Chain A
Amino acid sequence: SQQGEEDPQALSIQEGENATMNCSYKTSINNLQWYRQNSGRGLVHLILIRSNEREKHSGRLRVTLDTSKKSSSLLITASRAADTASYFCATDRGGQGFSFIFGKGTRLLVKP
């Protein structure tokens, strides 16, 4: 079963506006990562936040993590048409190696 669940499933905004996407998960995690996917292509890593961190920034991206609520949010500021894509959160429970669990993603449409 999916661990990460993104909300909303789809989001449509105007260029220049901010976009906020949320992710909830079920079990304890080692870290949480956000990825972007354009039109069914490969995923591009955006940002990683560890379980002992609460907020992280990377350029126009801001990620928060609330482990007590088992939730994370991704904020894209001053969005551009090029930000149009699907955004996924992925959780890693830790231990040896990878076994990422992805949510079903938020489809973001940024209108010029």
Chain B
Amino acid sequence: KAGVTQTPRYLIKTRGQQVTLSCSPISGHRSVSWYQQTPGQGLQFLFEYFSETQRNKGNFPGRFSGRQFSNSRSEMNVSTLELGDSALYLCASSSSTDTQYFGPGTRLTVL
């Protein structure tokens, strides 16, 4: 099976812009989670989607949003970008409640 794929792999934006990141889970996986990784805060949970519904949510402002499509692909959107949003954004998929399989990540740089 193909692994979790994320696009784009690298992205450069300026403050105030918005960005959309995409994640394609492993075939058959219905759960997709998003994480933000920064040197200062480490890996932080953003949200999880299951069958097109947000099932869990972390402590991030409303500028961070997501959605999941009927084919389980997921997108994450960040509006009004801030310098502090520069991070590696990781997507993970799962077919169960135990193990998550991570994609390679999208490196977002906000200038």
Number of interface residues of B (CB under 8 A): 28
B14 → A minimal CB distance (Å): 22
Interface segment, A17-25, A43-51, A61-69?
A43-51
CB-defined contacts of A103 to chain B, threshold 8 Å: 42
Partner pick for A98 among B4, B90, B97, B103, CB 8 A cutoff:
B97
Partner pick for B90 among A42, A97, A105, CB 8 A cutoff:
A42
> Known contacts A48-B99, A96-B55, A97-B56: does B43 contact A102 (CB below 8 Å)?
yes
The answer to whether B48 and A45 touch across the interface, beta carbons within 8 angstroms, is no
State whether the Cβ of B58 lies closer than 8 Å to any Cβ in chain A: yes
Which residues of A are interface residues toward B (Cβ below 8 A)? 2, 31, 33, 35, 40-45, 48, 88, 90, 92, 96-105
Additional A-B contact list (17), CB under 8 Å, known A2-B42, A99-B58: A35-B102, A40-B105, A42-B90, A42-B105, A97-B31, A97-B48, A97-B50, A97-B55, A97-B56, A98-B33, A98-B92, A100-B35, A101-B45, A102-B42, A102-B45, A105-B42, A105-B43
